[in-house]
A and B are shown apart, each in its own frame.
Chain A
Amino acid sequence: MGKCIVDPQQGPRIPGWNKYDPDDSSTLAILGTSTEGALPGDHLAADRSCAYWNTLLPIFPQVLYVASKLNNVNDPLSGRLFRLVGIGHAERNAIRLVGRSFHPAATLRIHNFGLREYCKSRPVLLPRTICKLEKL
């Protein structure tokens, strides 16, 4: 009979290192600077740039699901070339752009999946944020 973690809810234990709470900035532990344990203090400042990067991250990776859709020969968008023109939020069938555009030369080849599938293929980080594609 294999052994297992007795109580995974307890987590790793270093003095001062508590379970992460996004509303408690001291629960992002800083390790490697103290020989006593986790460095106390407000550490969520390290995440401050994420407000910006999270406007970009949902459109990446741009090609992750292509290989898994190669057999979908009936997709009308197969092989088409599109320009990525912005990101926005899905509201039923509409797309509300956030209000900025991207580099006009940036293009994305969509091989075997449609816009809906493409946008559904990136729900992990920000499920409601999707891309808008413009046919070239």
Chain B
Amino acid sequence: MTTPRNCSIKMLSLSSKSNNLNFPFADITELQRNYPVPSSDFATAYNATAGMWRDAHMLCPASNLATLRTTELDLPVWRYRFDHVANNLNSRGVRIGAFHGSDIRFVMGQWRTIVLSPPFVAATPQQVAISDIMVTAWTNFIKGG
């Protein structure tokens, strides 16, 4: 017998399977055109597939939301892309580029925690300065004019 709870679990399972993600529906020609390997943007297939996931699940929804809020709802939007790449932010180094969530320790002023996770290298003066800029911008937003 199907109960709401069973159905919820079933739906959770379906949502985690690949046939509910974008790639089974993908157009190979379009993907190769948008994510050429090797290229300046995508040195390896690893970078290209990461870029596909980034764009499908993060970048394009954010782009659409920002654009529609601006054009359709006439609401103010401030949009940014965090492009800081450094070898002390994760154990895989710079080859993975700027990755999801890497801006959090900067915007929250938590650069001191960078040294606490692999590869255990402290934040640089440049990273502290970047964090200070972002914290200042956010707090100025809250404090108002």
Interface residues of A in 98-119 (CB under 8 A from B): 100, 102-103, 105-107, 109, 111
Query: B145 to chain A: which residues have CB within 8 Å?
Result: 6-7, 10
Establish whether residues A47 and B137, one from each chain, have CB atoms under 8 Å apart when the complex forms: no
Establish whether residues A43 and B4, one from each chain, have CB atoms under 8 Å apart when the complex forms: no
How many contacts between A and B, using CB within 8 angstroms?
Answer: 164
The 6 A-B residue pairs with the shortest CB-CB distance, nearest first, are: A6-B144, A32-B84, A12-B137, A35-B129, A50-B60, A12-B141
Query: Could you tell me the distance between the alpha carbons of A109 and B30 in the complex, rounded to whole angstroms?
Result: 28
Query: Could you tell me the distance between the alpha carbons of A111 and B7 in the complex, rounded to whole angstroms?
Result: 9
Query: B61 to chain A: which residues have CB within 8 Å?
Result: 57, 125
Closest to A46 in B: B81
Q: Is there a chain A Cβ closer than 8 Å to B114's Cβ?
A: no
> Which among B7, B31, B65, B103 is the interface contact of A67 at CB below 8 angstroms?
B7
Chain B residues with CB under 8 Å of chain A are: 4, 7-8, 11, 14-15, 19-22, 24-27, 30-31, 34-35, 51, 55-56, 59-61, 63-68, 70-71, 76-84, 98, 103, 106, 126, 129-130, 133-134, 136-138, 140-145
Residue-wise interface mask of A (1-34) relative to B, using a CB-CB cutoff of 8 A (1 in contact, 0 not): 0000111111111100111111000011111111
Q: List 29 A-B contacts (CB under 8 A).
A: A10-B141, A12-B78, A17-B78, A21-B70, A22-B71, A29-B81, A31-B82, A33-B83, A38-B80, A46-B59, A46-B81, A47-B60, A49-B34, A49-B60, A53-B55, A56-B26, A60-B22, A63-B11, A63-B14, A63-B20, A70-B4, A106-B24, A107-B19, A111-B7, A124-B65, A125-B61, A125-B65, A125-B68, A126-B64
